Amino acid sequence: MSIVGILTALGIVAAVGLFIGIFLGIASVIFKVSVDEREEKIVEVLPGNNCGGCGYPGCSGLAAAIVKGEAPVNGCPVGGDAVGKKVAEIMGVDSVESERMVAFVKCNGNCDSVKENYEYTGQPDCQMLMFVPNQGPKACNHGCHGYGSCVRVCPFDAIHVENGVAKVDKEKCKACGKCIAVCPQHIIELIPYEAKYAVACSSTEKGPVTMKECDNGCIGCGLCKKNCVEEAIEVTDFHAKIDYAKCVGCGTCIDKCKKGSIVEH
């Protein structure tokens, strides 16, 4: 190839490159998506965990929703009130204090109290147990499997399996909801951080059935309800539930519970 041909080829390549550069520069201006500066400021004050506990795809998703008015300024469960106040200041609105919530596993069927029907030697994953006989070796199929699916998804190291039952460290819990989403038994819920007591059982079986399956299971006897002066406890489907809006933490319910299904929180 002659020198003229080489120079011509180089010239064509340079011209094409220049054209593409100019085209991309113009396109970036024409198709630029403007971002509200408040959104960028909110992202800066959010924790950056991108856990999805707020219901949006990461912190940037929540920031965009707050600016659009689709999410509250205190919508970040990880940041809590401290972050909520900063976001409110950015948005120019009054901050609204929210009650701190934490995850709680509604089961007290540990290795010492719950009966087992057989020895399980399969994959140690709670979701896999949904496909084995009786949904696992434990006689009670309403409780915690104890194989730690919730432990593995918690980004804050706030939940661990102790004696066959998952337990939440409420000091570490940020109420992101990942453990709730992954639990195949649906026995993890959010309760107030300040709650003094909680019902650690999810069984809705009749009393005699529950007693055969677990020594700590709620049998729906109603003693907690009958003795609660604040009327903060209801018993439905042989299962007690505390209304934390009414509960004053007097401790009468735990004193009256003979099965150990109401525990200190």
| Dihedral pair phi/psi, residue 109, rounded to 5° | -85, 75
What residue spans define the domains of the chain? 37-91, 101-264
Residue range 133-154, pLDDT digits in tens: 888 899 999 999 999 999 999 9
What CATH fold (topology level) applies to the domain 101-264? Alpha-Beta Plaits (3.30.70)
Residue range 203-251, pLDDT digits in tens: 999 999 999 999 999 999 999 999 999 999 999 999 999 999 999 999 9
Q: Are 211 and 139 in contact (CB under 8 A)?
A: no
What is the C-alpha to C-alpha distance for residues 74 and 49, in angstroms, rounded to an integer? 15
pLDDT recorded at residue 209: 95
Residue range 43-73, pLDDT digits in tens: 999 988 888 888 888 899 999 999 998 989 9
Residue 122 above 70 pLDDT?
A: yes
Q: Give the mean model confidence (pLDDT) for residues 166-186.
A: 94
pLDDT recorded at residue 226: 96
What CATH fold (topology level) applies to the domain 37-91? 3-methyladenine DNA Glycosylase II; Chain A, domain 3 (1.10.15)
Q: Give the mean model confidence (pLDDT) for residues 172-186.
A: 93
Residue with structure tokens 């087992």? 116
Output Rg (C-alpha) for the chain, integer angstroms: 28
In percent, how much of the chain has pLDDT > 70?
95
* 37-91 and 101-264: identical CATH topology: no
Residue among 156, 164, 121 at smallest CA distance from 140: 164
pLDDT recorded at residue 7: 67
pTM of the model: 0.79
Angle (CA) 41-84-32 rounded to 5° is: 25
Residue 1 above 60 pLDDT?
A: no
Residue range 13-54, pLDDT digits in tens: 777 788 787 877 777 666 655 667 899 999 999 988 888 888
Q: How confident is the model at residue 115 (pLDDT cuts 50, 70, 90)?
A: very high
pLDDT recorded at residue 192: 95
pLDDT recorded at residue 218: 96
What is the C-alpha to C-alpha distance for residues 167 and 86, in angstroms, rounded to an integer? 32
pLDDT recorded at residue 81: 85
Residue 5 above 80 pLDDT?
A: no
pLDDT recorded at residue 58: 87
